[in-house]
C-alpha cells in the first residue's frame, strides 16, 4: 500500500514540476555577436554569465585526473569564453559603461609570477593556460625560465670592484687587530719597563762601585753596561767631531772676491743691448750721431 502512495506522490511531484516549467518564460539565449546588443544592462548581464561559466570551467580544470585531452579541451573552451568576454567588455564601453578590461587579471606561471605569452595571431589577448593545463607536456616549457648564461667578467669589471679593502688598508677598522694587538702591546710595554728598571738598577750599582773604587766587585752585567755607556760617549764625541769638521770645511770654501751683478743689473744690461740692436736696425747712422750730440748737450747720460 505504501508503495502505491509513493508512486502517486512521485507522479504528483513530476506533474507540479512540469506545470512550473510551463509557466516559466523560455530561456533566453546569449546573442552570438556582442554588437547585436543595444542595452547596457543586457550587455552587463551577458558578461556576468560568461564570467560564471569561466569560473566553473576553471574550477573543473584544476583536476589533474581528467586526462590530457579533456584538459586541453577545457583550456580551449576557457580561452574562447575569455575572448567572448573581451568582446562584451568592448561593447559595454561603446554603450557608455565602465571599462572592465583595465583591471583584468594577468597570467601567472607555476610559481605565481606574472608572465606575458603573446598571441601568435596578433589579434586579441594571448592564449592562456589554467590549472592542470600548465603541467601538460609541451606547456611546462613555456613557463620555465631559460638558464642564465654566466657572462665572463672583463678586466674593467674586475678592477671596478677593487678598492682600499682589497689591498688591506682598512683592516684596522674592523676591530679584529685591535683586540689581538691590545694584550700583546701591554705585555711588550710591561716587559720593556721591567727590563729598563733592571738595567737602571744595574747601572746605578756599577756607578756606585766605580766611584768607591771597587771595580773588582762589579758584576759582568754591570761591566757590560759600563762598556756600552763608554761606547755611547765615544760615538757621541765622534759625531761632534765630524760636525765640527764639516763646519770648518764650509768656512774654508772658495769665495769669489770679484763683485757679480745681481738680477736687476743683468736685466738692465739685456734691455740696453736690445735697445741698441733695434736702433741699429731701424735708425740711420746720422740719426744716431745727432741723438748722441743732443744727449751730450743736454747732459743726459743713459
Secondary structure in 3-state letters for 253-274: CCCCCCCCCCHHHHHHHHHHHH
β-bridge mates for residue 109, sequence order: none
65 within domain boundaries: yes
- The domain tally of the chain equals 1
196 within domain boundaries: no
108 within domain boundaries: yes
pLDDT of residue 125: 54
pLDDT of residue 191: 92
178 within domain boundaries: no
254 within domain boundaries: no
CA 211-213-218 angle, 5° bins: 90
Provide block-wise average pLDDT over 10 residues at a time, the chain (302 residues): 63 78 71 82 87 89 87 90 88 85 62 51 62 82 74 85 80 74 88 87 73 54 64 80 82 64 86 82 72 74 57
For 248, phi then psi, to 5°, come to: -65, -35
Length, in residues, of the chain: 302
**Containing H/E element for 48?**
helix 40-60
79 within domain boundaries: yes
d(CA 184, CA 181) in angstroms, rounded, equals: 5
Domain of residue 119, CATH code: 1.10.287.660
First to last CA, the chain: 163
Alpha-carbon torsion angle 92, 95, 96, 102, nearest 10: 20
213 within domain boundaries: no
35 within domain boundaries: yes
User: What pTM was estimated for this model as a whole?
Assistant: 0.40
For 108, phi then psi, to 5°, come to: -120, 160
Amino acid at each position: 500500500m505504501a508503495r502505491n502512495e509513493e508512486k502517486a506522490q512521485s507522479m504528483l511531484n513530476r506533474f507540479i514540476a512540469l506545470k512550473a516549467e510551463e509557466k516559466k518564460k523560455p530561456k533566453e539565449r546569449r546573442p552570438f555577436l556582442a554588437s547585436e546588443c543595444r542595452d547596457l544592462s543586457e550587455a552587463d548581464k551577458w558578461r556576468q554569465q560568461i564570467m560564471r561559466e569561466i569560473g566553473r570551467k576553471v574550477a573543473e580544470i584544476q583536476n589533474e585526473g581528467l586526462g590530457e585531452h579533456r584538459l586541453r579541451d577545457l583550456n580551449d573552451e576557457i580561452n574562447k569564453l575569455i575572448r567572448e568576454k573581451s568582446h562584451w567588455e568592448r561593447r559595454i564601453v561603446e554603450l557608455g559603461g565602465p571599462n572592465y578590461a583595465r583591471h583584468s587579471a594577468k597570467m601567472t606561471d607555476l610559481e605565481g609570477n606574472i608572465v606575458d605569452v603573446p598571441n601568435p595571431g596578433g589579434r586579441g589577448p594571448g592564449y592562456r593556460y589554467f590549472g592542470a593545463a600548465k603541467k601538460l607536456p609541451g606547456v611546462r616549457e613555456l613557463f620555465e625560465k631559460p638558464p642564465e648564461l654566466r657572462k665572463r667578467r672583463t678586466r674593467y669589471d674586475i678592477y671596478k670592484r677593487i678598492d682600499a679593502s682589497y689591498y688591506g688598508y682598512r683592516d684596522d677598522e674592523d676591530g679584529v687587530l685591535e683586540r689581538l694587538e691590545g694584550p700583546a702591546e701591554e705585555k711588550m710595554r710591561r716587559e720593556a719597563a721591567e727590563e729598563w728598571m733592571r738595567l737602571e738598577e744595574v747601572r746605578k750599582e756599577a756607578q756606585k762601585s766605580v766611584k768607591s773604587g771597587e771595580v773588582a766587585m762589579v758584576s759582568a752585567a754591570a761591566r757590560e753596561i759600563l762598556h756600552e755607556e763608554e761606547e755611547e760617549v765615544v760615538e757621541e764625541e765622534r759625531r761632534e767631531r765630524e760636525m765640527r769638521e764639516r763646519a770648518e770645511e764650509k768656512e774654508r770654501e772658495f769665495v769669489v772676491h770679484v763683485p757679480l751683478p745681481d738680477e736687476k743689473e743683468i736685466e738692465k744690461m739685456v734691455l740696453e743691448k736690445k735697445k741698441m740692436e733695434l736702433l741699429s736696425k731701424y735708425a740711420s747712422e746720422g740719426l744716431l750721431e745727432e741723438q748722441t750730440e743732443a744727449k751730450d748737450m743736454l747732459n743726459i747720460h743713459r
